[in-house]
Structure 1
Amino acid sequence: MFNRTTFFIREHVGMLKLSDTYDILDPATQAQLGIAKEKPGALIHVLRLIVNKRMLPTTVNVFEGDSHENDSKRLFSIKRRFSLIRPKVEILDRQGNKIGYFKSKLISIGPSFMVFDTADNQVAQIKGDWKGWNFQLLDKNEKEIGSVTKKWAGVGKELFTSADNYVIALPDQADKNISMLLLAAGLAIDIVYKE
């Protein structure tokens, strides 16, 4: 899956959802490439009824194909710990080894966070517009290397649900870990930072 440069992310629609699921699709054919499934603990499910979801810990597992039950198909995980102001979000590979992390900026006009590798080197930055619909993936020199763009889902879905659709465009010929970090960053915009 990491040899691809574009992904269509479609959030599952549901009423009173306490966890999220996202399809990762080929934008041209709509073929399913993967699935991202949030897996908070039982206590966290209950706490989400009374505490802001963005403060609570969560884990999102990303699987290749259309099954989220087979752990051998897990590609990586996005893990956010409890936070009050600036969540630190870790990206773990299939074996649970940290390959990088995200840290939100303390002050910014639009949504923004930085992407770091395991050696604490900043490898990218994600900057959003003031609406929080379109995001640029920038390298450490602030050159655009990709984008995350919200796609209109129709009046009924936009007005009555919080489900969003995005297209993630990544750079050509990126290292597998960088592609994994950038795909995770695109998913984290909605799953971790906006929900």
Structure 2
Amino acid sequence: MDTTLNSVTDLNAFFVKEHVGMFKAANNYDILHPETQEILMTCREENLGIFTKIFRFTDYKRATPFNIELKDQQGRKILTIKRGISIFLSHVEVFDEKDQLIGYFKQKFFSIGGKFNLYNPQGEELCQLKGKWTSWDFRFVHGEKEFAHISKKWAGMAKELFTTADNYVLEISDQIPAQHPLRKMIIAAVMCIDMVLKE
């Protein structure tokens, strides 16, 4: 399987596995191939400041800044996801492997359930994330078109693959062309749903 820097984000299904720990402040995930369980990417928050660590264990967790990096199997950076301190609404920026801004997403004010909008660097809306607070069921949509779906189930299997809320499956529509920035934006958004909406 070709999982080079340019191809790994072109796959259409990913299994996201969170590193769970009672005293875990950082956001750490592995992104695996759903069939082979091969680790495709790692998502790590390596440079976590001491004050941010402290606040991660308080009611202010959702307001803390984050700086998350996605890397491939060879340790090469694919994406950086950044947010400053968030008082009311999150504004998260996404950068490519060359630290060029490829887009951002903003939480919708007074939305029912979990929602935020994804934009390109020029401020044009690419799609919306819509989801349910009560379950891991989120969809990336634009009008009537669905670009991606996050859930506990994978269409390639007859039953739920995983039983905990910390593991889920991202399925991206093959309507999104290879190398399209929206693919990376969707993957980036999935990595911080916890911090933006669900904590």
Q: Confirm or deny a common fold (TM above 0.5).
A: yes
Confirm or deny: 8 A CA contact 1:11 1:164 kept in the other structure: yes
> For residues 192 and 105 of structure 1, do their structure 2 counterparts lie closer, same or farther at Cα, with a shift above 3 Å needed?
closer
Q: Alignment partner for residue 193 of structure 1, among 190, 194, 197?
A: 197
Q: Partner of 1:143 in structure 2?
A: 145
* Equivalent residue, structure 1, for 2:12: 5
**Amino acid of the residue matched to residue 50 of structure 2?**
A
Q: 1:1-195 alignment to 2 at 5 Å?
A: 1-39=8-46, 40-50=48-58, 52-65=60-73, 70=75, 73-139=76-142, 141-150=143-152, 153-154=162-163, 158=164, 164-172=166-174, 173-174=176-177, 175-195=179-199
Q: Give SS of 2:193's match.
A: helix
Aligned-CA RMSD value: 1.9
Measured at CA, do residues 74 and 127 of structure 1 come closer, stay the same or move farther in structure 2, by a change above 3 Å?
same
Structure 2, unmatched stretches of 5+, are: 1-7, 154-159
Moved more, 143-152 or 10-19: 143-152
TM-score by length of 2: 0.83
The CA deviation string for residues 102-158 of structure 1, in whole angstroms up to 9 with x for no partner, is: 10110221101000000100001100024141001102x24212101135744xxx5
Write the distance in 1 (CA, Å) between the matches of 2:100 and 2:125: 18
Aligned to 2:152, what secondary structure does the other structure show?
A: strand
Q: Which blocks of at least 5 consecutive residues in structure 1 are unaligned? A: none
Please give the secondary structure, in 2, of the residue aligned with 1:182.
helix
Structure with greater proportional helix content? 1
- Relative distance call for 1:104 and 1:143 in structure 2 (3 A) is same
| In structure 1, distance between residues paired with 2:72 and 2:137 | 25
Relative distance call for 1:130 and 1:57 in structure 2 (3 A) is closer
Indicate if the aligned counterparts of 2:62 and 2:195 stay in contact, CA closer than 8 A.
no
CA distance in 2, matches of 1:51, 1:45: 12
Deviates more, 1:170-179 or 1:54-63: 170-179
Secondary structure of 1:136's aligned partner: strand
Distance in 2 between residues matched to 1:46 and 1:14, nearest whole Å: 15
Equivalent pairs: percent with the same residue? 35
Q: Helix, strand or coil: the match of 1:109?
A: coil
Distance across 2 between alignment mates of 1:114 and 1:46? 29
Letter in 1 for 2:198: K
Cα deviation digits, residues 64-94 of structure 1 (max 9, x gap) = 11x6xx4xx0100111110111010110112
